[in-house]
Chains A and B, each alone.
Chain A
Amino acid sequence: MNAVSALENPPQAVIEMRGIHKHFGGVTALEDVDLEAYAGQVLAIVGDNGAGKSTLIKILTGVHQPSSGSITLDGQAMVLDNHSDAISLGIDAVYQTLALADHLDPAANMFLGSELTRRIFGIPFLDNKRMRQEAERVLDERLGVKLRSMSVAAESLSGGQRQAVAIARAVYHSDLRVLVMDEPTAALGPQETARTLKLIKVLREEGLAIILISHSLDDVFAVADRVQVMRRGRRVGVVNTAESSTKAVLGMIVGAEATADAS
């Protein structure tokens, strides 16, 4: 039924989703979808609008709950009731909008929602100094990014720098295993895109499992190890980028390849 090509994979997947179904009312968004993500690999998910990419990812990050199906992390079955469950298990996402506060500086943005504090007379106050040091350290050590100034508002950063801050927020949790990136390059120019793709490669080298949603097949082939193609709520195939081409993947997205295979 589905044209899933056989792949040589590392032994243990970090994330395995099996037989995921999702219905919204009477609408079937996902039907029997599998997904495997491996440490130190970039898995790209491609597909037309409404193919179920976002729904699948939202199930993985705990935003939605599957109607049926199972998810395992390192072979352990897990149930995600909400997004913070996923974060505490080491699964986080960087959204297309980045969820930055434009008027706060990079450090404040990086720690937004999980600020470091220091108690004075038992009252917790924000520890801005330590947050700034930590932000600088994480940006430099983990992402290789040095900002010109750590005290400017996020709105005056470039698109790539903003992306770096948003990614730094996710990778700051040292137990992060899986990073989901939703259209990270959609709003960026060519230079910024190149920088962001570089960042993704850095994170891959660090051993994270990265799941990348993108409409740009050029970007996908530049960084991804494997590509999972979705169409109409189903997985229609997974290919190794090394053994495939944009043309073949495009064919799978629009359905030409699948019908050819199915016959």
Chain B
Amino acid sequence: MNTQANHNASISEPAARRSWQERLEPYLAIIGPLAMIAMILAFMGVMEPARYFRLSNLNIILLEAAMYMPMAMAMTFVITQRGIDLSIGSVAALTGIIMAFAIKQYGFPAWMAVGMAVMIGGTFGLINGLIITKFKVPDLIGTLAMDLVYRGFALVLAKGLVLARFPDLITDIGRGRIEGFLPIPVLIGLVTFIIGAILLRKTWFGRYSIAIGSSPESAEMTGISVDRYKVYAYVLMGAMAGLAGVMLTGKLNAIQATSAPYFNLHVIAAVVVGGTSLFGGRAYMLGSLAGVLLLSLMINALVTLRIEFFWQSVASGVVIILSVGLYTWLQKKDRDGSKGILASLSTPDNKKLFKLAAVLGMGIISFIVLGFMFANTTTGSG
């Protein structure tokens, strides 16, 4: 009985005028990192064109990026589901060490050890997922604690040793190249991204990851097994961290318990820069790839400019804050453009915060002044 239907084909809205933001939004994920990549390239083109754009340097950049690609792919799913995994650095180190022991101490064939490393990584991911879904430990705390656990096991196993010199297969995975084509790790990374894009668009896992991140309650109501799909994401994350452990071991031809210290923040930064929302529901696989490339370009630029290594940490942190802040600002729907920035800053609340900042600043300045006034002769610290 569909006769009535044609009467009211009028629920469609009057074609509302779409603002430029609305039209731009689908492409935001790509435009953001691409703009930043262009900025870095332009800047380096002025500052250090000869050394930065050398073919060998581009190779280094790609090799650096490749290691993060599988993890960024998996982290895209985890973050899309409103999750987070802070344990991936330790998972990579521990799986690398287990693989190293399997090869060097027990004489496993290399390919078996590699397969085992990926599976063990997946198992660590499974443990993370079960802790989060069954023990109901918040993901931030759960994976941070498991980061300590996995790192601890790595230290216990390796006891400060550096395990080095591995079979060709491992070094091929880490730094080999197909002549006249791309380095093998880059190929591995790109393949994982293609698989990730298919998973996201074409499978239940991808669809439900977005639904879960969008609204866990709605997902539950439509009969989606939220916990099971969350566990899947962490298993994928762990397996990719295990793969990264293999790639890291191969790249350096060595592994130790303290390897891969900042994988977690680096990968999260890449994913977030790529436009995947920390608040869930928005996944941009291509953006994550762009994010990985952006971070590698940036870190390499810092190295090329001979800026101290320790500034990398500052730069990564600033990039995370800026990109999350920028995306949140762009996605805010009720932005009132009528007044200037100054007007929106001078709310009563903000004035109080300014006062607090002023008090803190004055306090520090007065202590510095007093410190110099009462300063004794300095004693060396060592």
Contact = CB atoms under 8 A, between A and B. Distances in A.
A105 to B, nearest CB: 10
Given A125-B203, A126-B202, A160-B11, A101 B215 contact: yes
B213 A143 contact: no
Nearest to A139: B11
Contacts of A205: 1, 3-4
Contact of B15 (A148, A156, A158): A148
A199 B7 CA distance: 11
Contacts of A144: 4-11
Contact of B214 (A84, A95, A103, A158): A103
Contact of B5 (A97, A128, A140): A140
B380 interface: no
A128 B217 CA distance: 23
Given A97-B217, A144-B4, A126 B203 contact: yes
A199 B12 CA distance: 13
Q: Say what secondary structure dominates the interface of chain B.
A: helix
Interface in B63-92: none
A142 B207 contact: no
Contacts of A125: 198, 202-203
Chain B interface category by residue count: 35 or more
A167 to B, nearest CB: 11
Given A101-B281, A104-B211, A104-B214, A195 B5 contact: no
Interface in A120-144: 125-126, 128, 140-144
Nearest to B5: A144
A198 B8 contact: yes
Nearest to B212: A101
A263 B250 CA distance: 90
A103 B12 CA distance: 19
- Best-buried of B6, B214, B281 by chain A (most CB within 10 Å): B214
A205 B8 CA distance: 13
Interface in A85-109: 95, 97-104, 108
B57 interface: no
Interface in B189-222: 198, 201-204, 207, 210-211, 213-215, 217-219, 221-222
A81 interface: no
Interface residues of A, number: 42
Contacts of A23: none
Contacts of B6: 144
A115 B204 CA distance: 8
B213 A115 contact: no
A164 B5 CA distance: 13
Contacts of B201: 126, 128
Interface in A32-82: none
A112 interface: yes
A141 B12 contact: no
Interface string B144-179: 000000000000000000000000000000000000
A143 B282 CA distance: 29
A195 B11 contact: yes
A148 B215 contact: no
Contact of B210 (A101, A146, A202): A101
Given A103-B213, A147-B12, A148-B12, A108 B7 contact: no
Contacts of A102: 214-215, 281
Contacts of A97: 217-218, 221
Contacts of A145: 9, 11-12
B25 to A, nearest CB: 9
B376 to A, nearest CB: 62
Contacts of B198: 125
A206 interface: yes
A141 B211 CA distance: 26
B13 interface: yes
Given A144-B4, A148-B15, A160-B11, A103 B223 contact: no
Contact of B223 (A113, A158, A201): A113
A175 to B, nearest CB: 14
Given A115-B207, A148-B15, 4 more contacts: A112-B218, A113-B224, A125-B198, A125-B203
Interface of B: 1-13, 15, 22, 198, 201-204, 207, 210-211, 213-215, 217-219, 221-224, 281-282
17 contacts: A95-B221, A99-B217, A99-B222, A101-B214, A102-B214, A102-B281, A108-B211, A112-B219, A113-B223, A114-B223, A128-B201, A128-B202, A145-B9, A147-B12, A156-B22, A161-B12, A205-B4
